[in-house]
Structure formats: C-alpha cells, structure tokens
Amino acid sequence: MTDRNYMELRRLSPKVTGGLIRMRAETFRDAVVPAKYKILAAIAIVVATKCEPCIRGYTKMAFQAGATKVELVEFLNVAMTEAGCPREQWVLKAVEVFQQLESGQPVNADICCHNETVN
C-alpha cells in the first residue's frame, strides 16, 4: 500500500484506519509492566507467526526501549519452544537486527499492517 493510498483511506475511514497505531501507542507504553517487556513479548509472537517486517520493527523498538541481547534471546527461546524448532530461522532474523543496531548500523524497520515506521 502506498503512503498516498493509506492517507486517503485514513481520510475516508478515520475511526477504523489507524486503529493499530493507536493500539500500539497504548499497549507498548510503560505501565505496570515496563514497555520493553511487552515489546519483547510481541517479538515472541511475531516470530511464531513468521512476520518478518514485525520482527524487524519490534526488535528495533525493543533495542530502543533498552532491552539487552540476553533479554531478547530469552523471549526468542519462548517463541522457539512454543512454536517449534522451525521458528529458529525466524529467531535468527531478530538476532541479526539486534546485532546491526548494536554495531550502529541503520535498520529500516516497518511494522506491517500499515505504514508506521519505527524510528
């Protein structure tokens, strides 16, 4: 979907389109559970569902929220355990993004379902 098409859809359907943006803003904020742990839980889910754009986006969000590589790996272990060993290849994608971020490399990361870029 192009940015122009997305903006037109937002104009025509403002209460529905963009709902994921609003849900993410509310869900991934610090509350009783710190944001980074909710983001790490999201990574485990998107690894299990094999959504590469979300893996990249949530991994970048976790890095920016202060998650460590050790914390990331523990949540990735949950994904592999619950989704089965074929998910290991998807876990490696999150590890690769984290390593790129650690080394200061830019990562283009868009969470799917809309055109929200993780800065």
Residues 3-117: name the CATH superfamily.
Answer: AhpD-like (1.20.1290.10)
> Token pair of 37, please?
């742990």
User: Per this entry, what is the length of the chain?
Assistant: 119
What's the whole-number mean pLDDT along residues 78-85? Answer: 87
As a whole number of angstroms, the distance between CA 48 and CA 52 comes to 11
pLDDT digits (tens, 9 = 90+) for 44-69: 999 999 999 999 999 999 999 999 99
Q: For position 14, what pLDDT does the model report?
A: 85
